């Protein structure tokens, strides 16, 4: 993952739970969904690649899986440590800073299951990078192991090329307000590349501040994967 992408996630890490309508409910959904996929397959030890703040790793640990969570963003890993403590699952999560390029050096396989969700693969802009990632995953899984790759459904995005994506608005009891929305720019390629401009407005009603964070990714279609 390039420095600009790592910096993007570092700067949004503390706000990441606010990018969901209900963060705790999101964690619950992630855990239950993954448990259903792993059920009956002998999965005990799981590698979470691109774990962010633990969106999948924490609920999996709460369901008694043993998880190794990896991410290249120090900011996201700091959040993962904090959230693991809050949820009381520190003993079932090992958190490591790692990217695809050094993953085999940082973590020790084999794993029964592997999870790679979010924009991990879309941030790889070439076929070569994606193929390298998939081969790395294969090497870290035990024979007969299970892998879950999840990413946004980009089919409609590729068809309609949206430029404005509304986000969320949270207002806390003390009056603090958080507003997020996105402006997308498109490069036709090939491959097609999207630049996400994430705008976050936050603060008290009399002192709202807006910041812009930018990151690029490749909106992968199901056929490409």
Q: What is the DSSP string of 94-161?
A: EEEE--GGGHHHHS---EEEEEEESSTTTT--SHHHHHHHHHHHHHHEEEEEEEEEE----HHHHHH-
3-class state of residue 151 by DSSP:
coil
- pLDDT value at 1 more than 90: no
Specify the residue for token string 């279609």. Answer: 221
Q: Tell me, what's the pLDDT at 120? A: 96
CA distance 101 to 32: 30
Q: Tell me, what's the pLDDT at 22? A: 95
* Omega before residue 145 within 30° of 0, cis: no
Q: Tell me, what's the pLDDT at 221? A: 86
Q: What is the DSSP code (8-state) at residue 126? A: S
Sequence-ordered list of residues with C-beta below 8 angstroms from that of 74, at least 6 positions apart, any chain? 10, 97
3-150: CATH class: alpha beta
Q: Tell me, what's the pLDDT at 189? A: 84
Q: Tell me, what's the pLDDT at 80? A: 98
Q: Tell me, what's the pLDDT at 222? A: 78
pLDDT band at 130 (very low <50, low <70, confident <90, very high): very high
- pLDDT value at 210 more than 90: yes
Domain ranges in the chain are: 3-150, 155-217
| Tens digit of each residue's pLDDT (9 = 90 or more) over 81-124 | 999 999 999 999 999 999 999 999 999 999 999 999 999 999 99
| Tens digit of each residue's pLDDT (9 = 90 or more) over 12-60 | 999 999 999 999 999 999 999 999 999 999 999 999 999 999 999 999 9
Q: Tell me, what's the pLDDT at 225? A: 78
**Percentage with pLDDT > 90 across the chain:** 95
- pLDDT value at 223 more than 90: no
CA distance 202 to 147: 38
Range 146-156 average pLDDT: 94
Range 156-184 average pLDDT: 95
pTM of the model: 0.94
**Percentage with pLDDT > 70 across the chain:** 100
Mean pLDDT of all residues in the chain? 96
- pLDDT value at 139 more than 90: yes
């Amino acid at each position: 993952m390039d420095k600009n992408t790592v910096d993007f996630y570092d700067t949004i890490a503390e706000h990441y739970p606010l990018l969901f309508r209900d963060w705790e409910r999101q964690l619950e959904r992630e855990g239950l969904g993954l448990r259903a996929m792993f059920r009956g397959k002998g999965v005990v030890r799981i590698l979470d690649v691109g774990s962010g703040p633990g969106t999948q790793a924490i609920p999996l640990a709460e369901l008694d899986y043993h998880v190794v969570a990896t991410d290249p963003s120090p900011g996201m890993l700091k959040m993962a440590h904090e959230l693991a403590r809050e949820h009381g699952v520190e003993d079932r999560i090992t958190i490591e800073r790692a990217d695809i390029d050094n993953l085999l050096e940082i973590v020790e396989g084999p794993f029964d299951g592997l999870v790679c969700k979010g924009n991990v693969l879309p941030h790889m802009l070439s076929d070569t990078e994606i193929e390298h990632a998939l081969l790395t995953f294969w090497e870290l899984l035990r024979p007969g192991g299970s892998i879950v790759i999840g990413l946004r459904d980009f089919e409609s995005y590729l068809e309609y090329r949206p430029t404005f994506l509304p986000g969320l608005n949270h207002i806390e009891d003390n009056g603090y307000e958080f507003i997020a929305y996105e402006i997308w720019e498109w490069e036709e390629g090939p491959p097609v590349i999207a630049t996400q401009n994430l705008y976050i407005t936050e603060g008290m009603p009399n002192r709202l501040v807006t910041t812009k964070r930018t990151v690029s990714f490749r909106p992968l279609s199901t056929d490409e994967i």
